[in-house]
Amino acid sequence: MTVLGATGSVGRATLELIAEAPPGSFEVVALVANGNATALAAAARWVRARRAVVADASALPTLQAALAGTGIAVDGGPAAVIAAASIPVDWTMAAIVGAAGLPATMAAAAGGGIVSIANKECLVCAGRMLHAVAEAAGTTLLPADSEHNAIFQALDGTAPDSIERIVLTASGGPFRDWPRERMRAIRPEDALNHPVWRMGAKVTIDSATMMNKGLEVIEAACLFPVPADRIEVLVHPEAAIHGIVQYIDGSMLAQMGPPDMRVPIAHTLAWPRRMTTATRRLDLASLGRITFELPDYQRFPALTIAREALAAGGAAPTILNAANEVAVRLFLEGRIGFLGIAALVAAALDRLGTPAAPDLDAVLEADATARRTALDLAAGPAFA
C-alpha cells in the first residue's frame, strides 16, 4: 500500500490502523508528504515503509539525513511524488490536502487496485476525469470521507432507481448557533477548535464555514448516482450518524459510528471484508438522544455558493475550491475575516463565470486562474 499525505490527520489515522494490524498484514510501499521531512521519516520507520517522498524538494536533505542507514529509499519533488504514486499497489490512501493532491491521486487511479479517497478537493475539481482514469485502469475508487463512506455502506450496491435521496450529516461546527453579526469577529484560533472532529487546519476551517459540507455535496454528486437536488444536508451535532440513504419504499438506512476517521478508513482498507479496529465504540445509552436540524443557509452562505457552483458545472466547482483554498489560507494568516472566506469565493466565481472544463489541463488552468483572481480580489477592503 501507499499513503499520500502520510503526515496529515488522515494519513496518521491510516498508519495507526496499519501499525495496529497483525504483523505482516500490510506492506507499505511508499509514504508521501509535502515538506514535513522529520514527521515523514518517523512515519516511514514506524511502518517500515520502502520509500519516503517529499513534494517539496528543499526538504529532501533533511529526509535523507533522517533515514540514512535505514535502507528506506528517499526522493523529493513533484515528479518523485507522481513516480511514487504510480508504483502499482493493492491499496492507496489519497489524503493530500487540497487540489495539490490531484496529480498524485490521478497517478494512483491510473495504477489499478483500490484508491481510498479522503482528498475531496480532487473529486470536486476533477471527479469525472478521475472516474474515467480509474475505469480505464480497472481501479476501484472508495470514499474515505466519513459521510460518503457512510452513504457507500448504506447503499451497499443497491440499484440507483431504488434511491430516493441521500442525506449528508454535518456537526454544524463550532459556530452552529452563532448569529451572523457575531461571526465577524471569529479568529483563526476560534475556528480551529472543532467541537467533534480532530482534523487538519484546512478542513477544520471548512467545517466552521460549512464550505466543507458544500464541497461534500459536490463530492457526493460525483460519487453517487443521485441528482444534486436529492442530496440533502442535515445538521446533527452529536455526529453519531454520518450519512443516510432513503429508498423509494420509505426505508432509511443510516450508518452510525464514533466520530473517528479510523472507522471509514478501515472500511476501505478491508473492503469488501471488515477488519478489527481499536476505536472507541459508540455508546448509545450514554449518548441518550440524537438531534437533527436543517442548515441555516443565511448564516452559512458557503453551502449555497457550493450548490450553485455544482449546478453551474464546467470549471465552477474548481474555481470554488481554489478560491476557497486561498481564502482559508488568508484567513489563517489574519489577512481576511471569517465572513470574508465565503464572500471571497463568491466574488471569484462572479468574476470568472463558468469556463468549460473538458479535460485536466482546463481544470488546472481554471484552478490557477481562480487562485490569482482570489488573491487580487482579497487585496481590496471588502473581505476584512
Question: Which residues here bind ligand NDP, judged by CB under 6 A?
Answer: 5-11, 32-36, 55, 81, 95-97, 100, 118-121, 145, 197, 199-203, 261
Residue 120 or 307 with smaller CB distance to ligand NDP: 120
Q: Which of 119, 145, 130, 110 is nearest to 32 (CA)?
A: 119
Residue 211 or 339 with smaller CB distance to ligand NDP: 211
Residue 131 or 351 with smaller CB distance to ligand NDP: 131
Q: How far is CA 240 from CA 28, 118, 165, in A?
A: 32, 19, 20
State the helix-helix crossing angle for 37-46 and 60-67, rounded to 10 degrees. Answer: 30
As to burial, measured by CB atoms within 10 angstroms (0-12 exposed, 13-18 middle, 19+ buried), residue 274 is: exposed
Looking at residue 114, the DSSP 8-state letter turns out to be: E
Residue type, 265: I
DSSP reduced 3-state for 190: helix
Residue 33 or 374 with smaller CB distance to ligand NDP: 33
Residue 96 or 326 with smaller CB distance to ligand NDP: 96
CB of 79 to ligand NDP, least distance (A): 12
As to burial, measured by CB atoms within 10 angstroms (0-12 exposed, 13-18 middle, 19+ buried), residue 250 is: exposed
Residue 9 or 139 with smaller CB distance to ligand NDP: 9
Distance between CA atoms of residues 191 and 209, nearest Å: 9
CB of 244 to ligand NDP, least distance (A): 18
Residue 76 β-bridge partners? 54
Distance between CA atoms of residues 166 and 152, nearest Å: 10
CB of 335 to ligand NDP, least distance (A): 19
CB of 148 to ligand NDP, least distance (A): 9
Which residue is closest to ligand NDP by CB?
Answer: 8
CB of 119 to ligand NDP, least distance (A): 4
Other CB atoms within 10 A of residue 116 CB: 28
CB of 161 to ligand NDP, least distance (A): 29
CB of 56 to ligand NDP, least distance (A): 7
Distance between CA atoms of residues 372 and 220, nearest Å: 28
Torsion of CA 262, 89, 120, 42, to 10 degrees: 60
Residue 3 or 235 with smaller CB distance to ligand NDP: 3
Residue 148 or 377 with smaller CB distance to ligand NDP: 148
Residue 199 or 239 with smaller CB distance to ligand NDP: 199
Is beta strand 114-117 parallel, antiparallel or unpaired with respect to 140-143? parallel
Task: List the grid coordinates of 230.
Answer: 436529492
Q: Are 226 and 163 in contact (CB under 8 A)?
A: yes
CB of 258 to ligand NDP, least distance (A): 12
CB of 102 to ligand NDP, least distance (A): 10
Which residue is listed with cell 450514554?
286
Other CB atoms within 10 A of residue 12 CB: 18
Task: List the grid coordinates of 280.
Answer: 472507541
Q: Name the H helices within 271-315.
A: 284-287, 301-312
CB of 101 to ligand NDP, least distance (A): 7
